[in-house]
Structure 1
Amino acid sequence: MRRGFTFLLLLVFTCLAFGQQNRQFTLDELIPGGKNYARYVPRIAEQYQWHGDELMMLRGDSVFRVDLADPVKKRFLFRFSEIPEEGREGRTVSTVSFDREGSGRLKFFTADGAGVYDLGSKQVISFIGLPENSENREFSPNGLYMAYTRANNLYVIDAAGEEIAISSEENSGIVFGQSVHRNEFGINGGIFWSPDGSKLAFYRMDESMVAQYPIVDISARIATEKPVRYPMAGEKSHEVTIGVYDLKSRQTIYLKTGEPREKYLTNVAWSPDARHIYVAELNREQNHLKMNRYDASTGDFDKTLFEETHPKYVEPENPVLFVRNNPEQFIWQSERDGFNHLYLYHISGRLLKQLTHGEWEVTDLIGFDRKGEQLFFVSTLATPIERHACRVNLKNGKIDRLTAVPGMHTVTVSNSGRYLVTRYTAHDNPGKVDLVDSKKGGAVTLAAARNPFAGISMPAVELGTLKAADGKTDLYYRMVKPANFDPARKYPVVVYVYGGPHSQLVQNRWRYGSGGWETYMAQKGYIVFVMDNRGTSFRGRDFEDVTHRQLGVEEAKDQMCGVEYLKSLPYVDPDRMGIHGWSFGGFMTINMLLRYPDLFRAGVAGGPVTDWSYYEVMYGERYMDTPQENPEGYAETSLLRKADRLKSRLLIIHGDEDPVVVMQHSLQFLKSSIASGRHPDFFIYPGHEHNMIGRDRVHLHEHITRYFDDFCR
């Protein structure tokens, strides 16, 4: 009897294990916004921050100090709740942020405010609650002031609650303190505090001359209009100036950036002494850059330090970085030699040396050591599909690679520069955090994420390379195969594509970067193929700008190399191929269907550009020039002129409030399709902008999947 019971238990556990191993995931478990999505995202509970040369670990609401000599040892310091309640007005602290300088203070954050806490005196130095309807909030370096916008105007508030209006503009076409140039050129904000917190630089954008583009909000019973200023390629663009507000005098001056007014003011940076402001200024043609310096007190132009030109385009994305302890030198990032590298300049504008060289790119700057002799950075030195920490000696130019474990590393460095903390993933690593000793070498793992798919039979993800259409350039791809893959079978294939600038889909990160929808499709019996064509990033200027003035032409040729490879595989069914992409990928989806009309059975294009003349000035003119300058290129890349070539089933999806790729693109393609007797399908997500978010994102992927099931399965 006992033996029979034991056998029954064993049978039950075996069945449960088998069921778990062959588990079929739902979109709710694989797509952001899904009810159970969080269960299958690799997570590391601990956070690590540097406070000088002390490594702090945050776990829940507790703070520990890590023993660098023996990282297993940790000393408890305090809980968030121990920060005095009266100083934070009783609000619950959600997280804290230590400063790398090791000042003895930290910033703490609540759901509706932020403050400064002194670790020595255990006193709250300041606390500022978030003003009602405030946006674009930026705290001063000392945490005693906060700048923010409300509607189109800019304000500053102090810890006592005194609010100062820096602007009081009633014209809705004039905007203060917000991102300009539609977030191109590395711009992600419009407020720039001086290092000492005494002054505030800010963008002022006059877009009153830009046509208002109609977007309709259908949430009300009577739909209302909420137009956006949308400068299309070749049309009138907005004009930007930079203001400087002095907190002591309460006066504002403007930098005298001069004519022409239609140009790009990018990469704003303060000098360490707060006397000057450095601005990378780019002409509207985006082929001539000037690094200009202005007097922060008067706004007067001081000097052009250097210039860069290129026959196609120059794209500054990072402000100057002053060398620690040496205010007469700064670092500039440039692609002038064909790859993004570091250059050391004197403030006179004299180039001292090029610090990094080679057919690889610097992707991020981490910081200097205490003496300012070593600069730490992240690069593609090892391979284009990984990121590793490196350092360069400013005097002798010696470069050391500091991370050895394969993967994509995100790095912070201690104040002295001796220690680094790197958080990284790889195709077989859901996430780890290592402590690296840059002096002795070696790494110690501090924390690791659990594999959320442990014990489950998962679709395999493979990495490979193919030659581009030029016959010489390597292109990286990933292929996701069903878990029970049988090479004797014939499988349908979905090509997922983006293919545009500032992208890289294939990397040596967790499962080679494959997303939940790829997993879902593979478990349904599809092969999913993703490849980065020429025109994407982190491979050098020539790799990217080969697409200049003809977006979609070379990219399609490269993607076709991937398709031909797929067709050569004995387990791929060439009669059941589909293609899907979003935004630039939506453009590429339709582009491929029209350039190769007998290839795919179905395609799904989300938020697609269908004619670059309907896209915005900054991005559009960089890669295509204006329609007036490049009529042949705009004609060749227009999908509207090729709608009569459509033979495949095509589903176009668009958010009805999309301010990035306005819905006119899809509507014009539908109009061209009707005129040519073609019949694409169309689906709208009401109330959504360029991407579907929340629960609707799950619905979106179910809708996409159904389309491929209907026509490719």
Structure 2
Amino acid sequence: MYRITCSFLFLIGFVFTVNAQDKKLSLEEIWDGSFSQERLESLQPMANGTEYAVQNYNRTTRDVSVDIYSYKTGEKTKTLISAKEIPGLNYFQTYEFSQDQQKALLSAELEQIYRRSSKGVFYVYDIVKKQLQQVNDKAIQEPDFSPDATKIAYVYENNLYVKNLINNQVIQVTQDGKKNEIINGISDWVYEEEFSVVQAYQWNADGTKIAFLKFDETQVPVFSMDMYGTYPNQLYPTQDVFKYPKAGEQNAKVSLHVYDLEKQSLTQVNLQKKYEYIPVITWTQDANLLSVQAMNRHQNKLDFILVDTKKNTTKTILSETDKAYVDLNDQLNFLADNSFIWASERDGWNHLYHYNIKGKLLKQITTGNWEVTDYYGYNANNKTIYYQSTENGSINRGVYAIKINGKNKRALAAKAGTNYADFSADYTYYINSFSNAETLWQYKLYKTKTLEEVRVIEDNAAMKEKIAAYNFSSKEFSTMTINGNDLNMWMIKPKDFDASKKYPLLMYQYSGPGSQSVSNTSSNSNDYWYQYLADKGYIIVCVDGRGTGQKGADFKKITQLELGKYEVEDQIAAAKKLGEQSYIDENRIGIWGWSYGGFMSSNCIFQGGDTFKLAIAVAPVTSWRFYDTIYTERYMTTPQENPSGYDDNSPITHVNKFNDNNHYLLIHGSADDNVHVQNTMQLIEALVQANKNFDWAIYPDKNHGIYGGNTRLHLYNKMTNYILKNL
């Protein structure tokens, strides 16, 4: 008895000692990069199949280089490009190889335009001849090599150009480009944001033709943002003016054109039908055959069209329809025989299909109640397709190989967590990037055929040791049955959690259509913030409700025509159910979110004020009437067709329900080109006129991400203090 008691006391003393030594986390550490993990940056496989290229920066010599490494040994075999060794080039920011990897396109002086677009000064470096050639002395957009690397196309001031790299002759393909009116070869704002398209032109297989889109923005309404500048350099604000089509308003009129370099002729393609959107153009292996994905305005029908540019004829070979909407096919891949791989949700889950060039289905390659989340490629030598999917659980990602006939599936990397793969050019090797909630990012090289581990490239061991000193709480995954559905959930508890005590609860969510916030992957900055809050005595929870992704089309598309209805119902119901737990204080439940998540947290505090005591909304949509056509109408149709869907579920409609005993913090960047600060200003005015007490903050000249300088730290300090004071 005596020895047992002593051992017990020793154990208690040991626990107290360990806890006393736990390092305390600060907000400054979270946002100054202290927890940044080592990653593989700009890795590109070399054509020989045995090597890969990585862009490096030497802090001592201040040299930017592209270095070549052996897959097998990991040793650097040579430096392919060194900025210091190239006369006339002090540095470069990005690189891109030509198809034969004999030339590289180097960028400098890049200037961000919107989320995905930029312009800059570009150079072509001939790796064999060691010669540098500037593409243009002006800042240009989206330069791209022809297949034989003798030419380069680019866009300057909304016009498409082609430069002959042999004789330096430049051809201006279009003449009518003009800001806020006509765009050639690059996309408008809404295509860039919602279709992830910036470069809107493509070379054909032999470099004799370029297909491109033209956007006529003339009738699109204008949006403007004041830019306030910095004191004392700017006395008067400037104005950023651009075309932004809001729900129900005019889109740009888009048309398809083909430029024949040999004939120097420009032809507009007649698609035979009027389409609202042409988001994807892809040349087939046939230099005269162009494929086009075109959609109606509701985006519930997608036609896959082949254009014979020699005969000037078109044929629709495949159509996808859905009662809600059809997702764009970003996994399209034409094989050597011009058959193609196609992704579709037609059986209720996103899967891969194999078609011949006439549109005849050859085989559904993958099948099951899980989603294909990425397509890596096709190895013609062994007729094998490589892909990523959720077949090891909806919160996980695994990498698999399968024959094109749908047989002989193999798991290449299916450990619980998040797996990605980067394959060598001949698929002999692959680098498995892996992490889960308990494991920092690891990069390991494997042989594809035998799955033999060749070597560990990076395992973030130093960061793992550093993080161990904090003794962070685990992220616990589970499911919660809400409104008849098993919803994925994670929870972070204080590390000294005591089930006999009651804790305040902060819920985080995003909730947008097809999104996923509950995933088994390594911690990001927000996760460390949640650890900070957990250390202050809060339980943090995230629940992916109806409308989110990776659980099938029916689960995802239930929110159609009523964004904010089922999602809000699920968050309120989840909060109530969590409040029933003995260790959660049902009177101290808060919720926060950013963008769509801000839309949600606003709705929750207004409509669920008896459940939530506090909400924080960052850059929220406050009415879908303010948001863009492509995203909003995909899920809601137009406000003219569906006024109740827009108004019944928008926060701005429910301000009168806000309980003054609750706490609401509203935050926005004034230069948000995506979710305009107009959303917040209109909501502020509605709350003021309803005489509601709330808090708000505007970050001048900051975009949707609200970052730059000390901004992100200030934002999280503000939110942290608000939570500590009011929840």
With the length of structure 1 as denominator, give the TM-score of the two structures: 0.88
1:53 and 2:57 aligned: no
1:621 and 2:647 aligned: no
1:40 and 2:40 aligned: no
Q: Distance in 1 between matches of 2:610 and 2:82?
A: 68
8 A Cα contact 2:493 2:539, kept in partner: yes
Q: Which residue of 1 aligns with 2:174?
A: 167
Runs of at least 5 residues in structure 1 that lack an aligned partner in the other structure: 1-13
Q: Distance in 2 between matches of 1:499 and 1:104?
A: 42
8 A Cα contact 2:221 2:249, kept in partner: no
Q: Distance in 2 between matches of 1:700 and 1:237?
A: 35
Flag the 1:47–1:639 CA change in 2: closer, same or farther, 3 A. Answer: closer
1:598 and 2:590 aligned: no
Task: Choose the corresponding residue for 1:242, options 218, 233, 256.
Answer: 256
Task: Choose the corresponding residue for 1:224, options 229, 235, 238.
Answer: 238
8 A Cα contact 1:653 1:684, kept in partner: yes
Give the C-alpha shift of residue 571 in structure 1: 2.7
1:500 and 2:512 aligned: yes
Q: Which residue of 2 aligns with 1:700?
A: 715
Partner of 2:474, secondary structure, is: strand
Q: Which residue of 1 aligns with 2:61?
A: none
Give the C-alpha shift of residue 627 in structure 1: 1.7
Between 1:88-97 and 1:126-135, the stretch displaced more is 88-97
Flag the 1:45–1:92 CA change in 2: closer, same or farther, 3 A. Answer: same
8 A Cα contact 1:505 1:513, kept in partner: no
The letter of the residue matching 1:653 is I
Flag the 1:685–1:140 CA change in 2: closer, same or farther, 3 A. Answer: farther
Give the C-alpha shift of residue 488 in structure 1: 3.8
Task: Choose the corresponding residue for 1:269, options 271, 276, 282.
Answer: 282
Cα displacement string for residues 544-579 of structure 1 (whole angstroms, at most 9, x for unaligned residues):
101111111111122224313421333322222221
Partner of 1:305, secondary structure, is: strand
Q: Which residue of 2 aligns with 1:430?
A: 440
Partner of 1:619, secondary structure, is: helix
Q: Distance in 2 between matches of 1:570 and 1:251?
A: 75
Cα displacement string for residues 638-697 of structure 1 (whole angstroms, at most 9, x for unaligned residues):
222211001121111111122222222222222222232212222111111222122211
Task: Choose the corresponding residue for 2:678, options 664, 667, 680.
Answer: 664
8 A Cα contact 1:370 1:416, kept in partner: no
Task: Choose the corresponding residue for 1:390, options 397, 400, 411.
Answer: 400
8 A Cα contact 2:157 2:179, kept in partner: no
Task: Quote the sequence identity (%).
Answer: 29
Flag the 1:434–1:295 CA change in 2: closer, same or farther, 3 A. Answer: same
Cα displacement string for residues 31-90 of structure 1 (whole angstroms, at most 9, x for unaligned residues):
2xx3xx1x311114687543232033647657454364xxxx45542124669945x644
Q: Distance in 1 between matches of 2:241 and 2:122?
A: 31
1:66 and 2:70 aligned: yes
1:282 and 2:295 aligned: yes
The letter of the residue matching 1:351 is L
8 A Cα contact 1:277 1:295, kept in partner: yes
Q: Distance in 2 between matches of 1:586 and 1:114?
A: 42
Q: Which residue of 2 aligns with 1:23?
A: 23
Give the C-alpha shift of residue 376 in structure 1: 1.0
Give the C-alpha shift of residue 389 in structure 1: 1.4
Q: Which residue of 1 aligns with 2:118?
A: none
Alignment coverage as a number of residue pairs: 677
Q: Distance in 1 between matches of 2:75 and 2:700?
A: 52
Q: Distance in 2 between matches of 1:658 and 1:107?
A: 34
Q: Distance in 1 between matches of 2:532 and 2:258?
A: 52
Q: Distance in 1 between matches of 2:701 and 2:524?
A: 33
Q: Distance in 2 between matches of 1:622 and 1:668?
A: 24
Task: Choose the corresponding residue for 1:489, options 474, 498, 501.
Answer: 501
Q: Which residue of 2 aligns with 1:326?
A: 337
Q: How does 1:351-430 map to 2 (within 5 A)?
A: 351-371=361-381, 373-395=383-405, 397-430=407-440
Flag the 1:94–1:609 CA change in 2: closer, same or farther, 3 A. Answer: closer
Flag the 1:25–1:296 CA change in 2: closer, same or farther, 3 A. Answer: farther
1:554 and 2:558 aligned: no
The letter of the residue matching 1:56 is Y
Q: Distance in 2 between matches of 1:491 and 1:527?
A: 6
Give the superposed CA RMSD.
2.9
Q: Which residue of 2 aligns with 1:182?
A: 191
Give the C-alpha shift of residue 264 in structure 1: 1.0
Give the C-alpha shift of residue 125 in structure 1: 6.7
Runs of at least 5 residues in structure 2 that lack an aligned partner in the other structure: 1-13, 58-64, 109-120
8 A Cα contact 2:210 2:258, kept in partner: yes
8 A Cα contact 2:568 2:600, kept in partner: yes
With the length of structure 2 as denominator, give the TM-score of the two structures: 0.86
Partner of 2:130, secondary structure, is: strand
Flag the 1:145–1:566 CA change in 2: closer, same or farther, 3 A. Answer: farther
Q: Distance in 2 between matches of 1:288 and 1:419?
A: 39
Q: Distance in 2 between matches of 1:93 and 1:171?
A: 28
Cα displacement string for residues 436-485 of structure 1 (whole angstroms, at most 9, x for unaligned residues):
223223434422223353431233132323334332x3222222223333
Flag the 1:702–1:247 CA change in 2: closer, same or farther, 3 A. Answer: farther
8 A Cα contact 1:20 1:456, kept in partner: no
Q: Which residue of 2 aligns with 1:469?
A: 482
Cα displacement string for residues 588-647 of structure 1 (whole angstroms, at most 9, x for unaligned residues):
001111221122222111111111122211111111111222223223212222110011
Q: Which residue of 1 aligns with 2:8?
A: none
8 A Cα contact 1:412 1:420, kept in partner: yes
Q: Which residue of 2 aligns with 1:124?
A: 130
Q: Distance in 1 between matches of 2:352 and 2:601?
A: 37
Give the C-alpha shift of residue 155 in structure 1: 2.8
Give the C-alpha shift of residue 130 in structure 1: 6.1
Flag the 1:57–1:251 CA change in 2: closer, same or farther, 3 A. Answer: closer
Q: Distance in 2 between matches of 1:104 and 1:597?
A: 60
Flag the 1:574–1:364 CA change in 2: closer, same or farther, 3 A. Answer: same
Between 1:139-148 and 1:284-293, the stretch displaced more is 139-148
Q: Distance in 1 between matches of 2:435 and 2:333?
A: 28
8 A Cα contact 1:91 1:110, kept in partner: no
8 A Cα contact 2:596 2:620, kept in partner: yes
8 A Cα contact 1:461 1:512, kept in partner: no
The letter of the residue matching 1:178 is I
Q: Distance in 1 between matches of 2:263 and 2:83?
A: 34
Relative contact order, CA 8 A, sep 6+: which one is greater? Answer: 1
Flag the 1:650–1:285 CA change in 2: closer, same or farther, 3 A. Answer: same
Partner of 1:227, secondary structure, is: strand
Flag the 1:351–1:513 CA change in 2: closer, same or farther, 3 A. Answer: farther
Give the C-alpha shift of residue 128 in structure 1: 4.0
Give the C-alpha shift of residue 512 in structure 1: 8.6
Flag the 1:107–1:409 CA change in 2: closer, same or farther, 3 A. Answer: farther
Partner of 2:602, secondary structure, is: helix
Q: Distance in 2 between matches of 1:227 and 1:206?
A: 16
